[in-house]
A and B are shown apart, each in its own frame.
Chain A
Amino acid sequence: MLVTKLKDKDTVRSLIAGKAFIINCHGCKEVGFPEKEADEFQKELAAEGKVTGVLTMDYICNPDNIALNLGLRKNEIDEADCVLVFSCGVGVQTVSSQLEDKRVYAACDTYAVPGGQGVTPLEFDCRQCGECYLNLTGGICPLTACSKGLVNGQCGGAKDGKCEVDPDMECGWERIQRRLAMVGRLDALRSPVQIRDYNNEVKAE
């Protein structure tokens, strides 16, 4: 079980340079999604002229399903400078992997709640850390893509692009670096020092 909560509205606003295409996941039954708050916030953004379109669907973590829907909304996505995803971390990572040259941002933080997990495909993992880093890392989760879960950049352990722990695993931070270069967000590597707040791991309320 997990719940998502909206990030601070101004923080999210600051990510939108011009206009955003919005994706809502009303996903699996196991996820608590802030439907009402998200709807209110999206109306505010629309009133400010910052929205090119809204896609609301179930299970955006289903790659075939989301690919089909993204294809249908291509014009609105092209018109936007970024895609703002209201979902758990798995959903954001799935959208991000489908739109490699687009800035894909998380509008929510994902918290864990004791009990069963949500239905997620195996390809992406969300640690439900309660302080989603995807907006600083090009939509690639540093907690799950880096074997050390580092949040301030690459360690010195990568060899030929592979992780020191597993030669079959690509260095997560090299992936992040490449992705940030693709979407013109290398400035995110100069973010302030990140220190995880483990309090969020148990603070789902």
Chain B
Amino acid sequence: MKITDRFSKGEFVVTAEVGPPKGFHVDELVAEAREYLSDIAAVNVTDNQSSVMRLSSLGFCKALKDAGLNPIFQLTCRDRNRMALESDLLAAALFGIDNVLCLTGDHTKLGDHPGAKPVFDLDSVSLLHTVCELEKGRDLGGNELVGEPPVFAKGAVVSPCSDSVDAQLAKMERKVMAGAEFFQTQAVFDPERFISFMEKAKQFNVPVQVGVIIPKNVGMVRYMSQNVAGIVVPDSVIDELRADKEKTKAGITGVEIAARIIRECRPYCQGVHIMALGWEARVPEILRLAGI
């Protein structure tokens, strides 16, 4: 089901994310997704996330689809030229996968194949444009597709807490012009920053899902704040994680923080995208605490 249909109905749309394994044995991951993520609108499947080679996003999307979940096909421009991207989009349509999240992708140098050729023939903007072209029944070479063209809900990402927020807004506008119908954001730990971003982003009139990562411990959030682009963790969050070590270890603090971020951001956006990073089992609890 196209996730855009949910936004049109005015729902507060909840999605989560799973990363395919480095291997092809998916039964456990699929079972876990079925148990904890069946009630939400859709589940993103990452595409060689952080430039680490894994089972393909498309392959795992198909496995989730077969298990009755609604996958969002994450598609990056790092590993494929325009022809491979187009043919994977057609394969997604064949499998009935109709949500696609278009990303540029991390550079190959950051991952576990640093010697690989970084492709970047297209980027997030031109990939969105490409999806629109396929929907019109033609490919990027201008050639006609055979039969009914595919239809996708076209998503994109934006970093609301980036230190270069003007460049992010400019890029967001370009993505909207190129056909983006919904946005998922980089993880937000500071609702105030997100809210002031949304003041500027609402002019584009597209649904935005606030990105939430469950903070597991002090080391994790410190690392992200210092090293991950677009992530800023306020000291108050670090203090909270440090205050009660047992509670944090049990994951309760992280769940509470995630739920609070969702509650505070909810009036300003159209949904939430939870990146559980292995804590998928905590997603139902977070949503309950957030009042969703």
Give CA–CA (A156, B159) in the complex, Å: 7
Residues of B within 8 Å of A159, CB to CB, are: 163, 227-230
- Provide the A165-201 mask, 1 if CB < 8 A to any CB of B, else 0: 1000001011001000000001001100111101000
Contact B171 A153 (CB under 8 A): yes
Residues of A within 8 Å of B140, CB to CB, are: 195
Smallest CB separation, B33 vs chain A (Å): 25
List residues of B (89-115) whose CB comes within 8 Å of A's CBs. 104, 106-107, 109-110
| Contact partner, B107, options A154, A165, A186, Cβ 8 Å | A165
Give CA–CA (A148, B177) in the complex, Å: 22
Give CA–CA (A63, B227) in the complex, Å: 36
Q: Does A54 contact B (CB under 8 A)?
A: no
Q: Does A160 contact B (CB under 8 A)?
A: yes
Contact B164 A152 (CB under 8 A): no
| Contact partner, A177, options B122, B124, B163, B167, Cβ 8 Å | B167
Contact A148 B167 (CB under 8 A): no
Contact B174 A148 (CB under 8 A): no
| Contact partner, A158, options B157, B158, B162, B170, Cβ 8 Å | B162
Q: Does A53 contact B (CB under 8 A)?
A: no
Q: Does B178 contact A (CB under 8 A)?
A: yes
Chain B's closest residue to A181 (CB) is B166
Contact A193 B126 (CB under 8 A): yes
Give CA–CA (A150, B126) in the complex, Å: 10
Contact A174 B164 (CB under 8 A): yes
Give CA–CA (A195, B142) in the complex, Å: 13
| Contact partner, B129, options A150, A164, A177, A195, Cβ 8 Å | A195
Give CA–CA (A160, B226) in the complex, Å: 10
Known: A152-B123, A155-B124, A165-B110. A189 touches B104 (CB 8 A): no
Residues of A within 8 Å of B178, CB to CB, are: 152, 193
Residues of A within 8 Å of B125, CB to CB, are: 152-153, 193-194
Contact A158 B164 (CB under 8 A): yes
Residues of A within 8 Å of B163, CB to CB, are: 158-161
10 A–B pairs (Cβ distance < 8 Å), ordered by A: A151-B123, A153-B174, A154-B167, A156-B158, A156-B229, A158-B164, A173-B167, A174-B167, A193-B174, A196-B121
Top 10 A-B pairs ranked by shortest CB distance? Answer: A152-B125, A153-B171, A193-B129, A155-B104, A154-B167, A189-B170, A159-B229, A148-B120, A177-B167, A156-B159
